Each structure stands twice: as structure tokens, then as C-alpha cells.
């Protein structure tokens, strides 16, 4: 469960401030509607196919983020201060 939350928290830190209102609503739905948090992880890592109701540009962004092409260390959740930072 920590792995799933860490992935979503790091994704949020990097992306929330540049998402449109529609994308924010899709992200909110994604992290709140599935009954099993592990499903989000499996969809993001492409271990399982994403159900049609969650297949959208935000899920595509999360899948790309999960690939970690920059090989960043993502060992812990970010501090929550980013929620209070002004947009860049």
C-alpha cells in the first residue's frame, strides 16, 4: 500500500500544479473510486489492463511517470509542503 501511495504522491507533486480542472477531477476520481489501491499500481505499471472508465490522459500520464525514464530515486513519499507552494 505504501508503494501505491508513494507513486501517487510523487506523481501529484510533479503534475498537479499544471493539470487542468478536468484532469484534476479525473485524478481525484482515479485515487478515490477504485476499491483496491493496488489496482491503480497494476494499471500504472501495465501489469493489468486499465478499465475503460479510468483510461484517459491522466492515466496515460501516470503510466509514463511510473516508467521512471529519468531513473530517479523514489523511495519515499514527498513532504506535503508542495501542496502549499505557488504554481510555477
The pTM assigned to this predicted structure is 0.76
* pLDDT confidence bin for 2, thresholds 50/70/90: low
Rounded to an integer, the average pLDDT of 1-17 is 83
pLDDT recorded at residue 7? 85
Tell me what the mean pLDDT of segment 3-31 comes to.
91
Tell me the pLDDT tens digit for each residue of 39-58. 999 999 999 999 999 999 99
Residues 20-29: contacts with CB within 8 Å, 24+ apart? 23/57, 23/58, 26/56, 26/57, 26/58, 26/59, 27/58, 29/54
Mean local confidence (pLDDT), 10-26: 94
| Rounded (to 5) percent helix, strand, coil in the chain | 65, 0, 35
Give pLDDT, residue 68: 80
Number of Cβ within a 10 Å radius of residue 53? 10
Across all residues in the chain, what is the average pLDDT? 85
Amino acid at each position: 500500500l505504501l508503494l501505491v501511495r508513494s507513486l501517487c504522491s510523487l506523481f501529484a507533486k510533479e503534475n498537479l500544479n499544471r493539470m487542468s480542472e478536468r484532469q484534476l477531477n479525473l485524478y481525484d476520481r482515479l485515487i478515490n473510486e477504485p476499491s483496491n489501491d493496488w489496482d491503480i499500481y497494476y494499471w500504472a505499471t501495465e501489469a493489468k489492463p486499465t478499465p475503460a472508465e479510468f483510461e484517459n490522459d491522466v492515466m496515460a500520464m501516470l503510466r509514463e511517470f511510473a516508467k521512471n525514464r529519468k531513473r530517479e530515486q523514489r523511495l519515499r513519499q514527498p513532504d506535503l509542503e508542495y501542496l502549499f507552494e505557488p504554481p510555477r
